[in-house]
Each structure stands twice: as C-alpha cells, then as structure tokens.
Amino acid sequence: GESVGLHLPTLSVQEGDNSIINCAYSNSASDYFIWYKQESGKGPQFIIDIRSNMDKRQGQRVTVLLNKTVKHLSLQIAATQPGDSAVYFCAENSYTDKLIFGTGTRLQVFP
C-alpha cells in the first residue's frame, strides 16, 4: 500500500544552525507534497508545499527539495530557532485527494 516514511525520528540542532529533515515516499504517482509542523497538543500547521513538476521551492527560512528519481523529499530550515522545535511531518496527497502522513521527525533546538 501507499506509505510515506522518514529516516530520522529525532534531530537535534544548535540554535542558528541549518536543519535538514528527510522523507521518503513510495507512491511514484503522487504529485503533491506538503510539510507540516506540529507542536505538542496542537493540530498540524502548514509550512510549505511542492508539486511534482518542481524540484525546489523556497519560503521564508524554509526550502523543500523533491527528488522524484529516488522518491525523496527534504525540508531545510535556515538559522534554526528555538521556536522551530516541534515534530515535522511530510505528507503526500494521493490521487484520491487524501493526505497520507509520514512517520514524523522531532526537531530539538538547543542553545
């Protein structure tokens, strides 16, 4: 079946450093991907998205890279701040319009 997974369950970075969170997906037919941030006890918060006709998209301090050849997605956060500490999920929009979430990576930012 469809699955979206992450390589690292926890990522610890120093404040000010760049963070890279990775995600692998299995459905080569997927054409839309989204990164979400989830803080404890809250719902997912949209960060950035990318369609399959692109390989890179930039937002404010965040960049998403898509490698369709190896079915890999990454989220880069520049100058990581304590407020960036959260769990990050990649999600894959399936052909049925359902959103399938990856396993998640916890980002911990220390001073």
Partner 1 sequence: GAVVSQHPSWVICKSGTSVKIECRSLDFQATTMFWYRQFPKQSLMLMATSNEGSKATYEQGVEKDKFLINHASLTLSTLTVTSAHPEDSSFYICSARDYGKGTGELFFGEGSRLTVL
Give the phi and the psi of residue 31 in degrees, each rounded to 5.
Answer: -125, 5
Nearer to partner 1, 73 or 100 (CB): 100
- Do 91 and 99 meet the contact criterion of CB atoms below 8 Å apart? yes
Q: How far is the CB of 44 from partner 1 (least distance, A)?
A: 5
By rule CB under 8 A, what string of x and - marks binding of each residue 33-72 to partner 1? Answer: -x-x----xxxxxx--------------------------
Kindly tell me which residue out of 73, 86, 100, 109 binds partner 1, with binding defined by CB under 8 A: 100
Q: Measure the CA–CA gap between 68 and 81, rounded to whole angstroms.
A: 30
Q: Measure the CA–CA gap between 84 and 110, rounded to whole angstroms.
A: 11
Binding site for partner 1 (CB under 8 A): 34, 36, 41-46, 89, 97-104
